[in-house]
Each structure stands twice: as C-alpha cells, then as structure tokens.
C-alpha cells in the first residue's frame, strides 16, 4: 500500500516551512530519542514479552465443586475484566451460565491472581501502572478493597498464603512493597541493581515463603530471600545463574513460584520453583544455591506460566503445569511428601497445543486458512486448570487465553501408569487429540464467526493539520443559504434522498450564445435552400452585385530582404558616402533629393537586414546602395518628390539586383591583405553552369567569378 506519510497536503507543507527553523532541531532530537526507545522496546518484546508473566487467566472456585468463575480480560485494549460463571459436566465439558459481568479498568490487564486464605477468596489484578485487590463473596460478587498506583510500572504481584488480603507488589525501579489492610502500603526492599551480575532488564518478581515475614525477590540473574522486618540490605541468596546450578551461558530467570502450600498432600513447605529459558529448578530454602532437582524442559519458548494442582487422589503425585509463551504445554508429576526428597514421578508429558488442532478443521481457501492459522498460533497469555475427581477416572480441564482474546478449553483423562518407571530425562509424546460432537459443533460456530468478522482497517492514516491561525489561512466563506430540513431528516434517518428533500433547485444559467463568425456565402446559401426561399436569396445576391464592388485586400507578398532594402534606400544618409566614378547611364547624385531621417522605432525594424550580413560587408553594401538610382524604372528619369523618398518602393528589376548582391556578399571572403572588396567588384555577375545572370548595369563588362582568394 505504500507509506501514507509520503502524500502531504498543501497545509502540511506550509506548516513544515513555517515551523522548520523553530522546531527543526528540538523536534528531531526528541523524535529520535523516542523512536530509538520504541524500537528497543519492540525488539525486546519480539524476543520476550514479559508483560504477561504469571498469566492473565484464573479459575475462581464456586460454592459447588464443579461450578466456578473464569476471570479474564477482554476488549481491544484488554482493559475490561470479565467474570464468567462456568459449570463443568461429569465428562469435563463446560456449560456457560448467562452473560459475564465485567469491570472497566484504566489500563490493560497483565496478571490475574486468585487465592483462598482461611476460607476467604481473594482476587488481585495487575495492570501497567495500577494494581487492585477484590474480595469475592459466596455469591461470586467482587468487592474492591484497594487500588494502588505504581508510577514506575508494576512487573509482578503475589498474594500471601498465610494472611488474608496481604499483597506483594514489584516495581521496575527495583522496589518491593507490601500492602495489608491494617498497615497499608509500605516499602520493604529497593535495589535498582541486579543481584548477581549486571543485566539491563528492569523485571522484578516477589513471592512468599514458608515464613510469613520472609519474601523472595527475583530478577534475571538470581533469587534472594529477604526479611520484611530486618534492616535494609540483609538477606540470603537462594539461587544464582552460575556454576552452582550448572547453568548454561546466557541463562536467565523467567519465573519463580512458591510451591509449599498448606494442605494434607502438599509438598515440602520450603520448596520453590525457578524456571529459566532452558531448565526447571526445585530449590529448598534450607539448602540455598544447590538445586534439589534440575530438568531441561526443552520448550521452544520461555515458560512464563506455571500452575500447581492438588493430587488427583490420596497418595498420588501432584501435578505441575508448565506453559510457554508460544502455546506449548507440559505436565509434570512431582512426588515428595513430608521429609522425602522431591522427585519426578514419571517422564514429563507434552500436551497437545492449539496449533495441533489445525488439521481437524475443514479445508478453507488460502486467505481464510491463513487467518485461522494465525489465530490459533497467537501467544498464550493465560492458563487455568481444575481437577474433577470421579470414581473411575480423574478429568483435568485446561483453559488457555490467547493474545487474540480467545479462550480454549482442553479436557484430559488421567490414568494410572502400571508400567515400569521410565527415565525422567525423556519426554513422552503428546497424546492424540480426539474431538467430541459437542466440541466439533462449538469449533464450527467459532470458525464461522471468525470468518465473518471483516479484517481490521489499516492503523496508519494520513495525518491532518488545522493551524489556520499560525499559517495565516483565511476562513473559507460559508455557502449562502441553509440546508433544507428534508435533507437533514433524510440524513438523520439514513434513508434515500429524494427530490422533495432537496427543495427548489437553483436555476441554471443558460449557456453563452456562440460568437458570430465571419460571413460564409455557402452557409447562407444552404440555410436559405433548406428554409425554402432560395429565389429571394438569389435576387438579393444579384442586387448586391449591381452596387459598387469592394476590392479585397491583398496581402503584400514581399520577401523580407526586398522590403529591407527598399526601406534601407530611404534611410541611408549619402552625404558621407564616397561617390564612385560617374557613369554615362546614371543620374548625377547631386540632383537626388536627400531622404528624411526615419524615427528610431522604424530604424529598429529596418536593421533586421543586417543580421544575416557579416559586419565587415555592411559598409560595402551601403556604398553599393548609394550608387543605385532611386527611380531607375520610372519613365523619363524624373526624380521622385521629397515626400515620396521616405517610402520608396523597389521595382521588380531593382529587387532582383539587390537579391543578387546579397547572395554574392554572403559568399565572398576578405582578401589576404584584409582590405574590403571594391564596389567595382561587387557589381560583377555570378556565372553558373546553366545560365549567366545579367549584369547590374549595362556599362560594366562581364567578369568571371572570383576564386575566393586561392
């Protein structure tokens, strides 16, 4: 489509010319800094989008085991928080009740956290610069407790498993704040530098530990345990990317999560999960820097989502879901209750992703197929799961939220593996996905709605400016008259405009009459013949012919050279010219009257003849012109009166003589001595093979053509 900024209007051009000297340097520098910052941020987002770390989708349990609420953001800017009540059947299929309720926020939702502490469900939401906390009643209605503003930008929130309504907030400036209903907001830690080595990422994360007054603080280089009541700067380094954990080069911390929740089948209360882009670590607070379990997850994208689920049955290992930003899912079985060491109770299992279900959809045209594939491959920004225990098998229901705003549900049936234990370092293949009739019908409806939505219009449009006061624009004159009321009513109702809505149309001016052209006898004759009275027209023409006839003006067909010489003869002053020897056939130059001087305007037109004559030949031509008689062809040889000398016209014989003279002057060259050719030589005739031209005067003999000085 091209760049829309390449087409600038006249007003924008005037504005740039007017404000160029003033805004040139400052605007360019400011735009350059902002553009560099934006490009750096976009490049970091392409490599890793850390805004949705922790996930923006949560499952809030309801009053009954199979009923709950899905809390997720929606809208173009993800600035609406929706609460959708869902009931799961015995087979794991979701049933939706009513329309979802929503809360309008001031920014996009980046993280949603739910936790039930002492029987009180809590909901925390993180945006770019705001954090909010709600208390959910038994009927599922959220009641706001506190809204906090983070000026530097929030990167993570966590809810305490020990005390109700206790919230930890992390900022990009390196500050960790703790909010409680009793004490309010207070800062417990701040360090703008990273823990282990220098890293430019401002990402910070905080979570709780087994002790209610101890927290973990994380950045890309490591994890540190701090005491909220101790002096600033004190703490214990729990994990760092180095040789102690056998980390790879360039390995960075992506997510930390506390796994020691209270419960009958819970893991050790001092256990923490640390995920990097290459591996997964299980750390114990009592044994810092040395991981108790390390496993390479081999996910193609960074794991930013993790959910710990309870055991399906007593004595079974707990389930840990690990989700990558690209939509990949892995299921881990972690055993190690009580004082036993945590371990993997089987190989990690890769679950089917959304893009794997593309083959189950019907074949579409290339454009629609590309839209479907792009929608299924959108990044995952939220993950929620719940277990549905039953007598025969346990069903795991997964919910995934994509960046496009779609929520996908996946149902898994967990079965006990009675085979020999496998190598924990190897991954088992993903199970084959099977579609139920209800799921097939639901996907068809979703696909139909997706293809009916028109593609989004282009974001970039040509900008418009309105700076008439600065640029000195005059306001355009308003059109006289008012718009008919019928037209306004038709436009308001959106109906077709009819003639009665427009009112009386303005009368159009008649076209101008054609200008009368020159008289055409043939046209008049044809017109008279067509109308009928052709005889009257003929008599009128005969009557015109009997009257005095006008002589039509004839155009003077004179060459430029002849007219120039004729005007020259009346302009030259012959008083200073050297008189040649008298000829018996010529009239004495003394008896010739002196021609009057022509005005300057006429001299400018008469000097045109000299443009085609070389400068060294002009005097010779003037001398020759002085010898020619003014009235050589008049009978009796009488001289013209003085009144006629200013406009003497050349006779045909004289015009011929002047033309021959000019032709000879243009061909001759200067003599070796540099002297001009004599007037006697200019009167010689030019001989040609076909004929010889007559001499200029009868008294001069015939001479041969000069050989150009050779």
Distance set, CA 467 to CA 28, 473, 477, 678 (Å): 20, 8, 17, 80
Predicted local distance difference test score (pLDDT) of residue 128: 93
Torsion over CA of 137, 138, 141 and 147, rounded to 10 degrees?
A: 20
Confidence band (pLDDT; 50, 70, 90) for 589? very low
- Predicted confidence (pLDDT) at residue 205 exceeds the cutoff of 90: yes
Predicted local distance difference test score (pLDDT) of residue 564: 46
In which residue are the tokens 């006061």 written? 469
Mean pLDDT of 158-175: 93
Instruction: Please name the residues in contact with 476: beta carbons below 8 A apart, sequence gap of 6 or more.
Output: none
Distance of CA 474 to the CA centre of its chain: 31
- Predicted confidence (pLDDT) at residue 575 exceeds the cutoff of 50: no
- Long-range contacts, 531-536 (Cβ 8 Å, 24+): none
Confidence band (pLDDT; 50, 70, 90) for 539? confident
Predicted local distance difference test score (pLDDT) of residue 98: 84
Which residues does residue 344 pair with via DSSP β-bridges, in sequence order? 334
25-29, 193-197, 615-619, 696-700, range with the lowest pLDDT = 696-700
Helix axes 615-627, 560-571, angle to 10 degrees: 70
Predicted local distance difference test score (pLDDT) of residue 316: 83
DSSP 8-state code for residue 470: H
Could you give the residue ranges of the DSSP H alpha helices within 377-510? 437-452, 468-471, 485-493, 499-502
Predicted local distance difference test score (pLDDT) of residue 641: 43
In which residue are the tokens 């400018």 written? 604
Could you give the residue ranges of the DSSP H alpha helices within 285-378? 366-376
110-114, 177-181, 441-445, range with the lowest pLDDT = 441-445
Predicted local distance difference test score (pLDDT) of residue 703: 60
Q: How far apart are CA 331 and CA 306, in angstroms?
A: 10
pTM over 0.85: no
- Predicted confidence (pLDDT) at residue 327 exceeds the cutoff of 80: yes
Q: Three-state SS for 169? A: strand
- Predicted confidence (pLDDT) at residue 255 exceeds the cutoff of 90: yes
Handedness of CA 458, 462, 463, 468 (dihedral sign): negative
Predicted local distance difference test score (pLDDT) of residue 119: 86
Half-sphere exposure in the Cβ direction for 548 (13 Å, CA):
2
Distance of CA 484 to the CA centre of its chain: 40
Q: How far apart are CA 136 and CA 143, in angstroms?
A: 6
Predicted local distance difference test score (pLDDT) of residue 513: 62
Show the beta-strand stretches assigned E in 363-447.
Answer: 380-388, 394-402, 407-414
Residue 199 buriedness (CB in 10 A; 0-12 / 13-18 / 19+): middle
In which residue are the tokens 């033309």 written? 659
635-652: b (≥16 Cβ within 10 Å) or e: eeeebeeeeebeebebee
Measure the CA angle with vertex 76, ends 70 and 79; round to 5°.
55
Q: Which of 217, 220, 176 is nearest to 199 (CA)?
A: 220
Contact 69, 96 (CB under 8 A): no
Q: Which of 301, 300, 282, 302 is nearest to 292 (CA)?
A: 282
């Amino acid at each position: 489509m091209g760049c829309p900024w390449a087409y600038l209007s006249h007003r924008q051009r005037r504005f740039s010319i007017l404000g160029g000297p003033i805004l040139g340097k400052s605007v360019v520098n400011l735009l350059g800094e902002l553009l560099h910052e934006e490009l750096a941020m976009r490049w970091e987002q392409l490599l890793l989008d850390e805004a949705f770390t922790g996930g923006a989708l949560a499952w809030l349990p309801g009053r009954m085991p199979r009923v709950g609420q899905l809390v997720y953001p929606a809208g173009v800017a993800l600035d609406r928080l929706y609460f959708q009540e869902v009931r799961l059947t015995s087979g794991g299929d979701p049933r939706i009740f009513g329309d979802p309720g929503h809360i309008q926020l001031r920014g996009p939702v980046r993280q949603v956290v739910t936790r039930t502490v002492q029987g009180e469900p809590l909901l925390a939401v993180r945006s770019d610069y705001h954090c909010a906390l709600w208390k959910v009643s038994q009927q599922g209605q959220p009641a706001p407790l506190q809204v906090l503003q983070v000026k530097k930008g929030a990167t993570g929130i966590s809810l305490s498993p020990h005390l109700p309504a206790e919230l930890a907030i992390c900022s990009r400036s390196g500050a960790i704040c703790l909010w409680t209903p009793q004490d309010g907001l207070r800062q417990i830690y701040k360090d703008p530098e990273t823990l282990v080595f220098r890293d430019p990422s401002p990402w910070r994360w905080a979570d709780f530990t087994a002790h209610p007054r101890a927290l973990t603080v994380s950045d890309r280089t490591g994890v540190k345990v701090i005491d909220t009541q101790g002096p600033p700067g004190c703490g214990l380094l729990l994990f760092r990317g180095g040789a102690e954990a056998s980390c790879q080069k360039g390995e960075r911390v992506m997510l930390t999560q506390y796994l020691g929740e209270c419960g009958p089948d819970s893991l050790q209360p001092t256990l923490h999960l640390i995920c990097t882009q290459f591996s997964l670590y299980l750390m114990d607070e009592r044994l810092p820097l040395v991981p108790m379990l390390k496993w390479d997850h081999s996910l193609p994208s960074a794991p930013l989502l993790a959910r710990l689920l309870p055991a399906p049955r007593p004595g079974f290992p707990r389930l840990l879901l690990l989700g990558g930003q690209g939509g990949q899912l892995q299921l881990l079985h972690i055993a190690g209750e009580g004082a036993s060491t945590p371990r993997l109770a089987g190989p990690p299992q890769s679950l089917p992703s959304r893009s794997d279900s593309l083959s189950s959809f019907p074949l579409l045209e290339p454009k629609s197929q590309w839209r479907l594939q792009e929608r299924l491959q959108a990044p995952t920004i939220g993950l929620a799961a719940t277990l549905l225990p039953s007598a025969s098998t346990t069903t795991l229901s997964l919910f995934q939220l994509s960046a496009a705003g779609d929520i996908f549900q996946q149902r898994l049936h967990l079965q006990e593996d009675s085979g020999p234990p496998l190598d924990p370092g190897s991954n088992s293949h993903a199970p084959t996905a099977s579609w139920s009739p209800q799921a097939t019908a639901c996907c068809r409806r979703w696909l139909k709605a997706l293809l009916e939505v028109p593609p989004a219009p282009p974001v970039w449009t040509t900008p418009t400016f309105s700076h008439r006061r600065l640029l000195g624009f005059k306001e355009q004159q308003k059109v006289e008259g008012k718009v008919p009321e019928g037209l306004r009513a038709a436009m308001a109702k959106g109906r077709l405009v009819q003639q009665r809505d427009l009112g009386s149309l303005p009368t159009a001016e008649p076209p101008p009459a054609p200008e009368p052209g020159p008289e055409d006898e043939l046209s008049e004759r044809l017109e008279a013949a067509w109308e009928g009275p052709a005889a009257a027209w003929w008599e009128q023409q005969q009557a015109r012919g009997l009257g005095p006839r006008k002589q039509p003006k004839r155009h003077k067909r004179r060459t430029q050279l002849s007219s120039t010489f004729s005007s020259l003869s009346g302009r030259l002053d012959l008083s200073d010219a050297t008189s040649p020897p008298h000829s018996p056939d010529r009239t004495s130059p003394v008896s010739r009257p002196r021609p009057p001087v022509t005005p300057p305007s006429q001299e400018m037109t008469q000097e045109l003849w000299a443009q085609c004559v070389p400068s060294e030949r002009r005097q010779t031509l003037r001398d020759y012109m002085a010898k020619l008689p003014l009235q050589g062809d008049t009978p009796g040889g009488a001289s013209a009166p003085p009144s006629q000398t200013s406009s003497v016209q050349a006779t045909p014989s004289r015009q011929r003589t002047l033309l021959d003279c000019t032709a000879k002057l243009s061909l001759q060259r200067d003599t070796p001595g540099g002297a001009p050719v004599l007037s006697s030589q200019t009167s010689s005739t030019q001989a040609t093979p076909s004929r010889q031209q007559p001499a200029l005067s009868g008294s001069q003999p015939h001479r041969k053509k000069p050989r150009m000085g050779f």
